[in-house]
Structure 1
Amino acid sequence: MKAQSVLGSAALGVGLGTLLLPAAALADTTVSPATTPVGGTVVLTSTCNPKSGDTIFRVTGPDRDQNVRSTTAAASGGLSAELFTAGFTLGTYTVTATCGDGTSSGSATFTVTPIGAAPAGAGAGAGADASGLLAAGGTLVGAAATGALALARRRRRGAAARA
């Protein structure tokens, strides 16, 4: 009897998941680019059906709590708006979208960085001399080898003393 109950619950869960998955897949909000300098522009896009009315993007963050109304139909079939970040405080902002029919279209984040900040993905040595990075790596490898050698000697001495 318990096996039937467990199988029934699992089947119900799979069935509901199958029904709800398409709706969840359609509800999507994106911000491009994910990182912008102060004064840059980000494009907010939702997958809301344009026939349901304008999308309202709510932007919240360190110094913001504002609504932005969609202005154009996105090439992907949803709605979009451009947001100019002049006057924004540095930090991460969350964008939540509500479709014209009142349904949620999910959320996304973007980060406002200082003007002239390194682009996303640029790490130490990107476009610069990486000799410092190589020296640090070599030092770490040398330290690990020295530690392994000391440990091996200590084990040999302990084994010889016990014999």
Structure 2
Amino acid sequence: MKAQTVLATAVLGVGLGTLLLPGAALADTTVSPATTPVGGTVVLTATTCDPQSGDAIFRVTGPNRDQNVRSTTAAAGGGLSAELFTAGFTLGTYTVTATCGDGSPAGSATFTVTPIGGAQAGSGTTTDPTGSVAAGAALLGSATAGALILARRRRHAATAATA
């Protein structure tokens, strides 16, 4: 009976995690490379935007910028993308927030502009872990609930055996 309880709890936790995991990927914007020298080019990509719903708008904010960039192409892996030339940018970190053509948010990411000859360019990063945090919290909550149910059943079984 104990094995059945543990198995049922594990199945419940995996099932809830499977249902909530797609929420972690709902909003995803990337910038590649994540670091570029002044005058370099970065590619902004909103992977969850449907090209058929219209252009994505990337809002770029940072030390000397607050501008919108419209998507120019459908991204190879899905979504929409645009290239951004960083000539005239001040050194520092910039935030890119994307909105799909249908008005839905597509997440955010950051990139850093360095001096020419500065740090090597890296891969794109995402900075909106809301979906991952929610999925992790749901899994932790279901595991805790399963442990409480298991402990309660053990206590009832021990009480019944001594009575």
- Please classify the TM superposition score into its range, dividing by the shorter chain length: 0.5 to 0.7
Which residue matches 1:156?
A: none
**1:64 is the counterpart of 2:79:** no
Question: Is the Cα–Cα contact under 8 Å of residues 60 and 95 in structure 2 kept in the other structure?
Answer: yes
Alignment of 1:27-106 (within 5 A): 27-47=27-47, 48-106=49-107
CA distance in 2 between counterparts of 1:97 and 1:28 reads 9
Which residue matches 1:151?
A: none
Change (3 A) 1:96 1:86: same
CA distance in 2 between counterparts of 1:97 and 1:21 reads 21
RMSD: 2.5
Question: Is there any run of 5+ residues in structure 2 with no aligned partner, and where?
Answer: 1-11, 123-163
| CA deviation profile, 1:109-156 (whole Å, cap 9, x unmatched) | 0000001114258xxxxxxxxxxxxxxxxxxxxxxxxxxxxxxxxxxx
How many residues matched? 112
Q: Secondary structure at the match of 2:117?
A: coil
TM-score, reference length from structure 2 = 0.61
Alignment of 1:109-120 (within 5 A): 109-119=110-120
CA distance in 2 between counterparts of 1:95 and 1:120 reads 17
Tell which structure's C-alpha radius of gyration is larger. Answer: 1
CA distance in 1 between counterparts of 2:72 and 2:23 reads 24
CA distance in 2 between counterparts of 1:78 and 1:112 reads 25
User: One-letter code of the match for 2:96?
Assistant: V
Question: Is the Cα–Cα contact under 8 Å of residues 42 and 84 in structure 2 kept in the other structure?
Answer: yes
Runs of 4+ that moved beyond 3 A: 17-21
Which residue matches 2:4?
A: none
Change (3 A) 1:120 1:86: closer
What fraction of aligned residue pairs are identical, expressed as a percent? 86
CA distance in 1 between counterparts of 2:53 and 2:70 reads 14
